[in-house]
A and B are shown apart, each in its own frame.
Chain A
Amino acid sequence: MPPWSDFEPFVVSGLALGGVYALSGVGLIVLYRATGVLYLAFGAAGAMGALIAWSLQRAGAPGWVGWLVCVAFGAAVTLGYGMIFGPALAGRDPLVKAVATLGLTLVLYGVMDLLWTTSGGQSRAITLPTDGSGFSVGQVQVNWTQVIGLAAGVAITAATGAFLRYTRLGTAMRAMANDREITATLGVPVRRVEAAAWLGCGVLAGVAGILLADLVALDATTLTFLVVSSLAAVLIARLRSIAVTFAAAIVIGLVHDLLTPITSLANYRDMTPFVLAAVALLVLSRRTVISRSREEY
């Protein structure tokens, strides 16, 4: 077992990673509760936005243009998909809706592989101005991007919680999560509320894309499938609670990075989200309820 000082830097990176997973997870949950769609193309939308930002930066555009375009791209793709396929599949099973977003994932993934060929061995990186500067806690260097990662996770979780609790739109979303038909009967503009949820989720996809491209790697495959880690957090929260998602995401990020210095386990650290989610689900789903309702238990 390596000494504690070896672990310290990984606490920082783990918290940052967990923060971004939390942000992604919150986006996924809000969309799922409002529309019943588990948006599996979340990672792909962010990844493509980040690749576009990278191309813009290389073409000489100032950095902030790239970041804005990345967020705007995530939002546009997500909203566009939601507007076209959301209503068409609205009455279908959650599973069908989720599989349909896999179709979008494949399309985005194919386009990314086509335009930003990965086989050339050329490595790309996005650097944010916050990478260079930072401060140290004890002997551990902390850069501002890591602070932003964690802070964004905390802020988005808190803000979304407040938004759902106190605003009109948030109340409408919670009502839709309970029952779409009754909510529509009450005069809530269902399509508009859904559009808002799609847009919000897309913005978060773009933000997560740019942060993960900096914190992890700018690579289409990696970023597309990093969504699985946030998905694990969402599953642990049973597609329901924002607070549990946040906690689970932080734990997943921390455990993943803290395994790095342990040589015998380092190779297996990528299993963290899978194992945690599988164990949590199996423990949580000990009671089986068979019902005809669309709600899954």
Chain B
Amino acid sequence: MPVPDTMGPAAATGAAAGRRPSRAALTRACVIAALLLLALFALPALLSLYYVDTMTQVAVYAIVALGLGVLVGRVGLVSLGQVAVLAIGAWAAARLLFATTQPYPVVLLEAGLITMVAGTVIGLPALRMRGLYLALITLMLAGAITVVLDTVNFPNGGRGFLGYNGSAVRPPPIRMPAIAASDTGYFRYSVVVAIVMFLLVYVHIRTRPGRAWAAIRQSEPAALATGINTTLYKLWALALASFITGVAGGLLAGASHYLYSIDFPAQNSITLLAVVLMGGAYSMWGAVVAALLYQFLPALLQNWGVSADWLTILFGLGVLQVLRTAPAGLADQVPRDLARLGRMLRRRRGVPRPGEPAVTAAAAQQPAGSDPR
């Protein structure tokens, strides 16, 4: 989306290679490491099985949200079909898991590559279009994929290319990796895969492709004029997003044991876009926030006996609010507002900090601690 030009990852310019890490960066790295250790070791011990399964879904959907975040936030391509891409990944992984005895990481890699090829082949012609047209064509293609999946169904251990046995009374579940056969083990496994995917995207954003994407998002004609191969880098972003979404699909296949086409309705792509915009499409934290909104909140509400429809309404209002007032989403807004609140409280107590200006544009753009770049 070209609108929040000022908020963009101008980031890539700031990171001179080989510079000694600043204190803020060290603190940030420590916080991330602590959070990851907490997620890997403390969470499974603290949570009931219900919430461990929920957190597995959060890990999976964080990857999906990250993929959509790359497209929307970095390159400015809005896709309304990411759930269909996820379904392709899940389908490919399920088919491979039933057909072969390959180790799980290999299957995940293959599912990612298959989805990458599918996403790129579908996206190549669509990339001729921009903006609104591209968003609508992805909506159409996702609708078409959903119709096809409704008809061919997900593999359930049957024979043939499609691997679907319509008359199977008790189809075998999709197998889980040997080292992570328990729910807790699979949760840890998913988190590790998610970390790898986040690192993959991080590397992309910090290097040449990230800079090219930032240029394209600011202005495609300008990017073209500076000699950036815009088609190549847009396609690259599409391939990367499809790849990690496909890997997420593979994780989802193992986590849900059985897959049904009804689990991937086209309208979920719209909800997914809503939570990604709410979480913040410009930061990697945004993807985590989006996944929590998308998977953890519904589970929480279900546990409390509140209808999930309230969430749909909330997400709708959230999109309107984000588009009107906070283009960088919760991941940016909350730390900034907290910082502002802290300043207000300090001022109330009459302890002015030296050299403290009112909120400057720079402070608003680079809130400490909210920026993983």
Interface residues of chain A, those whose CB is within 8 Å of chain B, are 38, 85, 88-89, 92-96, 98-100, 102-111, 113-114, 221, 224-225, 228, 231-232, 235, 267-268, 270-271, 273-275, 277-278, 281-282, 285-286, 288, 290-292, 296
CB-CB nearest in chain B for A85 = B320
Interface residues of B in 117-142 (CB under 8 A from A): 125-126, 128-133, 135-137, 139-141
Alpha-carbon distance A104/B126, docked complex (angstroms): 26
Q: Could you tell me the distance in whole angstroms from the C-beta of B204 to the nearest C-beta in chain A?
A: 23
Query: Contact at A103–B271, with CB atoms within 8 Å?
Result: no
Query: Contact at A270–B147, with CB atoms within 8 Å?
Result: yes
Alpha-carbon distance A114/B310, docked complex (angstroms): 8
A228 / chain B contacts, CB cutoff of 8 Å = 139-140, 143
Query: Contact at A103–B131, with CB atoms within 8 Å?
Result: no
Alpha-carbon distance A88/B325, docked complex (angstroms): 10
B312 / chain A contacts, CB cutoff of 8 Å = 106-107, 109-110, 113
Known: A111-B313, A232-B140, A288-B128; 7 extra A-B contacts, CB below 8 A, are A85-B320, A99-B319, A106-B312, A235-B140, A274-B143, A274-B144, A277-B140
Interface centre among A94, A107, A114 (most CB of B within 10 A): A107
Which of the candidate stretches B11-19, B33-41, B174-182, B216-224 sits at the interface with the other chain? B216-224
Query: Contact at A96–B1, with CB atoms within 8 Å?
Result: yes
Query: Contact at B139–A271, with CB atoms within 8 Å?
Result: no
CB pairs A–B below 8 angstroms (16 shown): A92-B3, A95-B131, A99-B323, A102-B273, A102-B274, A106-B319, A110-B311, A225-B267, A228-B143, A271-B143, A278-B137, A278-B141, A281-B129, A285-B128, A285-B133, A292-B221
Interface residues of chain B, those whose CB is within 8 Å of chain A, are 1-3, 78, 125-126, 128-133, 135-137, 139-141, 143-144, 147-148, 150-151, 219-221, 224, 265-267, 270-271, 273-274, 277, 307, 309-320, 323-324
Q: Could you tell me the distance in whole angstroms from the C-beta of A297 to the nearest C-beta in chain B?
A: 8
Alpha-carbon distance A217/B143, docked complex (angstroms): 19
Query: Contact at A103–B133, with CB atoms within 8 Å?
Result: no
Which one of A102, A285, A291 lies within 8 Å of B221 (CB-CB)?
A: A291
Query: Contact at B3–A225, with CB atoms within 8 Å?
Result: no
Query: Contact at A105–B131, with CB atoms within 8 Å?
Result: no
Given A95-B78, A103-B274, A106-B270, A89-B324 contact (CB < 8 Å): yes
CB-CB nearest in chain A for B324 = A88
B265 / chain A contacts, CB cutoff of 8 Å = 221
Query: Contact at B324–A85, with CB atoms within 8 Å?
Result: yes
A267 / chain B contacts, CB cutoff of 8 Å = 147, 150-151
Query: Contact at B139–A281, with CB atoms within 8 Å?
Result: no
CB-CB nearest in chain B for A104 = B316
Given A104-B316, A228-B139, A278-B141, A38-B274 contact (CB < 8 Å): no
CB-CB nearest in chain A for B274 = A106
Alpha-carbon distance A282/B266, docked complex (angstroms): 22
B314 / chain A contacts, CB cutoff of 8 Å = 110
B126 / chain A contacts, CB cutoff of 8 Å = 282
Tally the A-B contacts, defined by beta carbons under 8 Å.
Answer: 151
Which one of A110, A232, A271, A281 lies within 8 Å of B133 (CB-CB)?
A: A281
Q: 3 tightest A-B contacts by CB?
A: A106-B316, A110-B312, A103-B319
Interface centre among B219, B224, B312 (most CB of A within 10 A): B312
A38 / chain B contacts, CB cutoff of 8 Å = 132, 136
Query: Contact at B309–A113, with CB atoms within 8 Å?
Result: yes
Query: Contact at B144–A106, with CB atoms within 8 Å?
Result: no
A235 / chain B contacts, CB cutoff of 8 Å = 133, 136-137, 140
Query: Contact at B141–A274, with CB atoms within 8 Å?
Result: yes
Which one of A93, A100, A114 lies within 8 Å of B307 (CB-CB)?
A: A114
Q: Could you tell me the distance in whole angstroms from the C-beta of A31 to the nearest C-beta in chain B?
A: 14
Alpha-carbon distance A289/B274, docked complex (angstroms): 30
Query: Contact at A103–B141, with CB atoms within 8 Å?
Result: no
Alpha-carbon distance A225/B143, docked complex (angstroms): 10
Given A96-B3, A225-B266, A107-B316 contact (CB < 8 Å): yes
Alpha-carbon distance A113/B309, docked complex (angstroms): 6
Interface centre among A95, A271, A273, A296 (most CB of B within 10 A): A95
Query: Contact at A290–B323, with CB atoms within 8 Å?
Result: no
A224 / chain B contacts, CB cutoff of 8 Å = 267
Q: Could you tell me the distance in whole angstroms from the C-beta of A92 to the nearest C-beta in chain B?
A: 6
Query: Contact at A290–B221, with CB atoms within 8 Å?
Result: yes
Query: Contact at B132–A107, with CB atoms within 8 Å?
Result: no
Q: Could you tell me the distance in whole angstroms from the C-beta of A239 to the nearest C-beta in chain B?
A: 8
Alpha-carbon distance A181/B34, docked complex (angstroms): 53
Q: Could you tell me the distance in whole angstroms from the C-beta of B329 to the nearest C-beta in chain A?
A: 13
Alpha-carbon distance A288/B129, docked complex (angstroms): 8
Alpha-carbon distance A274/B140, docked complex (angstroms): 5
CB-CB nearest in chain A for B321 = A103
A221 / chain B contacts, CB cutoff of 8 Å = 265, 267
CB-CB nearest in chain A for B127 = A288
B135 / chain A contacts, CB cutoff of 8 Å = 95, 98-99
Q: Could you tell me the distance in whole angstroms from the C-beta of A255 to the nearest C-beta in chain B?
A: 14
Alpha-carbon distance A280/B300, docked complex (angstroms): 44
Which one of B128, B219, B270 lies within 8 Å of A102 (CB-CB)?
A: B270
Query: Contact at B318–A103, with CB atoms within 8 Å?
Result: yes
Which one of A100, A270, A285 lies within 8 Å of B323 (CB-CB)?
A: A100
CB-CB nearest in chain A for B323 = A100
Alpha-carbon distance A108/B320, docked complex (angstroms): 13
CB-CB nearest in chain B for A113 = B309
Given A225-B266, A285-B133, A273-B140 contact (CB < 8 Å): yes
B151 / chain A contacts, CB cutoff of 8 Å = 267-268
